[in-house]
Amino acid sequence: MMSTPAHATALHALPDEAPIDRDAAMVAVGDLLAALGFDPDEGDLAETPRRVADAFIEMITPEPFEMTFANGDAYDEPVVVRGIPFVSLCRHHLLPFRGTATVGYVPGDRLVGLSKLARVVAHHARGLQVQEALTVQIARTLETALEPRGVGVVVEAEHLCMSARGVRTETALTMTTVFRGALATDPALQARFIGARPV
Ligand SMILES: [Zn+2]
């Protein structure tokens, strides 16, 4: 069994990390409502700044988790968990994007509990994200924690900044992929990973 306290710390060294000022966020949301022509003190809008501030705070606060390693029986085939649902916040529009991640690795000496793969996705989904960075961060975390022979991450998401406004591409899904190690260099392994994706 191994633990990774240093790694757990590194997970929280996010570039955006700074103290959250909930009161200032509530004032700012009230100011936004006023700037958009609404009276933030009127009726059911009165509680909106608090609700919005708390919603944003929840969505940008990463859930802590620890990687714990199972004793493996020298399993050396790909481990893939597909269709892990997530919701994140687009850092360009502050609107949600949501979808699924398919995450897998080809083990080296370490195996990780399957639920931890979903936890890695949930951890990195919190924050102001862009999908490409989210995909890379999930892969990087698995590489660092597991030192696997290969890592694959496929993220498919609907972005509200595209579907609810702008070009209104309501059914468009954006797909991003990262393949590292054996999953990048071994076409047969990658094909098996891709084949495990939901269609
Ligand atoms: Zn956006």
Neighbours of ion ligand 1 (CB under 5 A): 90, 92-93, 161
The span from the CA of 43 to the CA of 70, in Å, is: 54
Distance 130 CA to ligand 1 centre (A): 8
Task: For Cα atoms 50, 127, 158, give the angle at the middle one, nearest 5 degrees.
Answer: 100
Give the global pTM: 0.84
pLDDT in tens, 145-184: 999 999 999 999 999 998 888 888 878 899 999 999 999 9
User: Please, what are the domains in the chain?
Assistant: 22-60 (no CATH), 69-195 (3.30.1130.10)
State the chain's maximal CA–CA distance in angstroms.
64
Distance 26 CA to ligand 1 centre (A): 22
Distance 165 CA to ligand 1 centre (A): 10
pLDDT in tens, 96-132: 999 999 999 999 888 888 899 999 999 999 999 999 9
Q: Which residue spans within 11-165 are E strands per DSSP?
A: 69-70, 79-90, 96-106, 111-112, 128-129, 150-159
Distance 43 CA to ligand 1 centre (A): 30
